[in-house]
Amino acid sequence: MHFSTEEDAKLQTEYTKLGFLIRPVASADAFVWIRQKTAEIAAAALNIAMPENVEGFLNQIHDFVSPSNLNDFRLKVIQGLNSETEFRRMYFLLAKPYLEAIVGNELAMQQRINLSIQMPGDTSSLLPVHADTWSGDSPFEVVVWLPIVDCFGTKAMYLLPPDETAKFANEFATRGGSSSESVFASIQNDVKWLEVKSGEVMVFDQSLPHGNRLNREKETRWSMNCRFKGVFTPYGDKKLGEFFEPITLRPASLRGMTYSLPKTK
């Protein structure tokens, strides 16, 4: 018997079928805060005045940063964001109802959020095809992926849907090949390119093969990602207290974790 609400059941069915869920951010205020703060930190790192057109500035950041300086610039921006005490709470609010429908309401969240900046034609920011579980992540984790500019075409990411992933897994010994390029070549006709607009958020199953390719669009991609899982679900190599932190424990769980029977003689 299933006791989910009609709306939650719809989200769950879609996520299970597709392996991802794309929806408007649950908090517009949180999204504006994150995008504005990102642009402010980026402008400060470049020692320029904050532009009025935030999204235009981010889309054309390649006019200000060379590929050779990109990683240092990216690290300055994400370190600045992660030093903001409100950043993780704002990020959680973007996807809170979707996480509660897909994962649960007692959550552990990655301690530091990641940032990807992929400029047009830049080969240094490629993410080869992979599934996070292949390198030790728990299959109980999901990724909340946030673009702060429109992501489309090769400016976006791709994912291999669940049915195709199951087939690929069964044939991995013969289709896997010896490199990530040969793996991608064997699935490229089956992957789905995910269009996620600015103001939308995606929750996806990180056990499905995914990645990006060379950005052939005329704009730079800015996207953030962060992992969430149920506090009491099994952990992989990324442990609670080391990589994850509980964020929504309920009183009954807290009580149960500290409870002990009365002492007897």
| Spans of the chain below 50 pLDDT | none
Residues 6+ apart with CB under 8 A from 141: 132, 206, 227, 228, 229, 236, 238
Instruction: Give CA torsion, residues 62, 64, 69, 73, to 10 deg.
Output: -100
Q: Which fold has domain 7-230?
A: Jelly Rolls (2.60.120)
| Residue 2 confidence (pLDDT) | 75
First to last CA, the chain: 45
Q: What pLDDT score does 125 carry?
A: 85
Q: Which residues pair with 23 in a beta bridge?
A: 201
Specify whether the backbone of 136 is left (phi greater than 0), alpha (psi in -120 to 50) or beta.
left
Domain locations in the chain as residue ranges: 7-230
Name 12's Cβ contacts closer than 8 Å, sequence gap at least 6. Answer: 4, 101, 102
Give the pLDDT score at 84. Answer: 97
- Answer yes or no: are the C-beta atoms of 114 and 78 closer than 8 Å: yes
pLDDT at 180: 86
Matching residue, tokens 């408007």: 24
Q: What is the pLDDT of residues 193-231, one digit of tens each?
A: 999 999 999 999 999 999 999 999 999 999 999 999 999
The first and second tokens of residue 232, run together, are 């009491």
Please tell me the predicted confidence (pLDDT) of residue 176.
64
Token pair of 234 as six digits = 């099994």
Q: Which residues contact 35 (CB under 8 A, 6 or more apart)?
A: 54, 55, 58, 148, 198
Residue 230 carries which side chain, given as an amino acid letter? G
pLDDT score of 265: 78
Nearest to 157 by CA among 194, 201, 117: 194
CB 228 within 8 A of CB 141: yes
pLDDT at residue number 103: 98
Alpha helix segments (H runs only) across 83-201: 87-102, 162-170, 172-175, 180-187
How far out from the chain centre does Cα 61 lie?
Answer: 21
